[in-house]
A and B are shown apart, each in its own frame.
Chain A
């Protein structure tokens, strides 16, 4: 079981807390697993991460709204999966506890969805048809088109959009979609020639002899007395 699956399990329902306390069969698999961010953590950080991961902020009802909305914001297409497939609701759940100042605006926005749905369609948001959901979302999803009365809703939806994108593009699938190629050991030898040509740019001639020659990367540097690199 990898860590992401752990997180999914933890957030799957009320068994999450039980898992952490170690009273479910899955406990064996969790033993030794990293809970929270790995690498050089202080004791306080370890305790805090474990505590936040064990707590639940969203109600089932709220989580359903969030799941619906994040898939609307980042839906599946031919090149990438939907936000819920990438665990975005779990990430947002965690951020609510990690940065508690987001709790009230988020909860308020989710409440407003029901108010608006009742007004418009006489039922709660989670019971709306897709077209009705879009009608509600369109009131707040476009900052420059939204009327003055919906500016509060716009701010909430901006926050939800930002969180959704954070949770989406910080995954392996998100990196793939974005085309990000870094985070691996490599040797930087400047912008690829074709890219330079495309933009009509060149490395400054002045430093042609000064820049790192990648073939010399393993040679220990030696200088003369005035600081000229001679070996």
Chain B
């Protein structure tokens, strides 16, 4: 991580706050149109192709904690995403005993360094849920508006998959998918018996090259460590850095934006930010400001952008700023497959994610909850690191000797060592990721009593799941048991019941939070228009997942990218027409 303050011009055509999927795409499209761009990022820069930044292919013994997670790398010591649910000096609070955990990545590329690269388009139904089930609201745009942009994103960034012709899982421009792993074939056998579809995964890794700038996947399973061949998508390697090479793009790192500054008419004229290095306040000027700081962070910036023209912050007059915050639902289950005990060894790394998954397959009209979920599968002969050989105090009994007698749990010695080798690669499981229903009563707001280390007021969250999400989680648990059992697996642990909301993950834990600056053509029910233009401030735009009216049972990144491209095109056109 390089530490430096950039000495550059202080006036730009466009300032983009945040360098994740939304900010990255905007920086590319706007700079290619010849505009001068400043990208303001709260964390540092890095390049996985440089040896000093590389964590890919490092064995665990290079880490004194053997790859265990730390507070700022909760997904492991070699994970490239720096940040986590708790960041020192950058707190947030919760209200009324409710729960929300806010995951942030402070670095170039933001959370595109973290995500599983599951790259699913929203389908036609996903934009019109209220018309289908009566809950929440429709988007003011539809699939047909985003389709051309999804197509362009596929070709620019690359995603593997298979053409399936499923109405609400639109096909794209796919690279060839990798063949399944062994546990995925076992699960497929179970899913077939249960009548549940399983299709090749749709992940943004280059199984074949798409241009001369990025390399091709060499199957190390470590996309979360950032690829030195740039064969997976992250905003830094695929958008920000290329934009900096080709266009007029300046990157301001370790720069924490306090507010959008406005003139006396209420128009945005730049941002005010704190340098984390010298802890001094700086101002940048621009004709247009684009927020891509993440749904909650962008909402926070708007709320803190108070002025004479915007006494309660920008967009607060909509009445929905910070409201309709929603995350995906999540629940998991695990099993052990006796057929995989004593399994043959070979390199099973594959890509950094599942080679097969299950898209939502049911009709909600026949169910007691309104929205669907997809299923992600995991298992296999992963890299032994921190945690390897663990839990033999409860797992060893699943090993049987030649006479069928189970090993005793726990123990020590060569027998234990052999049992660990026998059981390796035999556990597997699945995770449901579903759509929740956005609620006015789930929100973030400014906590009047708490500031961060830069003196910026922080967010306070209020979030509760409803019966809809709880019933969905129950359905997930029933489905998981059925698939695992049909696949021949022995279920591990006990089935989560009502006492734990059927294992439903806490809000924020799936890291898909969206909706805080939602889109509506009515300024009284949305912060931004259908072009992601802030109603109350026409030269201010939002390109993260804040404008999502509803989060489908898909991962949000592909839609953030498509929307950001569309918004960027709109900005270019509006500048040309001198409307902003």
The chain A residues found within 8 Å of chain B, CB to CB, are 3-4, 7, 34, 36-45, 49, 52-53, 72-75, 77, 80, 91, 94-95, 98-99, 137, 141-145, 154, 157-158, 161-162, 165-172, 174-175, 177-192, 194-196, 198-199, 201-204, 207, 210-213, 216-221, 223, 227-229
Contact = CB atoms under 8 A, between A and B. Distances in A.
Contacts of A142: 408-411
B104 to A, nearest CB: 14
Contacts of A183: 57, 59, 220, 349, 383
B176 A189 contact: no
Contacts of B176: 210-213, 216, 229
B221 interface: yes
B219 A185 contact: yes
Interface stretch (B30-38, B184-192, B504-512, B536-544): B184-192
A182 B347 contact: yes
Contacts of B421: 177-179
Given A170-B385, A187-B218, A201-B185, 14 more contacts: A74-B416, A98-B70, A166-B387, A174-B384, A180-B384, A182-B347, A185-B219, A190-B179, A191-B181, A198-B344, A199-B339, A210-B176, A220-B211, A227-B151
Given A141-B410, A182-B221, A220-B208, A203 B180 contact: yes
Contacts of A179: 345, 421, 424
A12 B46 CA distance: 35
A159 to B, nearest CB: 9
Contact of B68 (A98, A192, A218): A98
A18 B469 CA distance: 57
Nearest to B421: A178
Most buried by A among B46, B68, B158: B68
B208 A42 contact: no
B390 A162 contact: yes
B388 A170 contact: yes
A77 B344 contact: no
17 contacts: A42-B1, A75-B414, A161-B412, A165-B390, A166-B389, A170-B60, A172-B61, A178-B384, A194-B344, A203-B180, A210-B176, A220-B209, A221-B158, A221-B210, A223-B155, A227-B151, A229-B175
B65 A182 contact: no
Contacts of A204: 180, 188
Contacts of A188: 178-179, 219, 347, 349-351
- Interface size on B, as a range, is 35 or more
Nearest to B397: A144
Interface of B: 1, 3, 44, 46, 48, 52-55, 57-68, 70, 72, 77-78, 80, 82, 88, 151, 154-155, 158, 160, 162-163, 171-182, 185-186, 188-189, 200, 207-212, 216, 218-221, 226, 339, 343-351, 381-394, 408-414, 416-417, 420-421, 424
Contact of A95 (B68, B180, B385): B68
Contacts of A172: 59, 61
A217 B347 contact: no
Contacts of B64: 7, 36-37, 49, 52-53, 91, 94, 98
A211 B53 contact: no
B179 A40 contact: no
Contact of B347 (A36, A39, A178, A184): A184
B60 A40 contact: no
B412 A169 contact: no
Contact of B218 (A39, A91, A186): A186
B349 A182 contact: yes
B179 A212 contact: yes
Contacts of B78: 37, 39
Contact of A4 (B61, B226, B348): B61
B422 to A, nearest CB: 10
Contact of B178 (A167, A171, A211, A228): A211
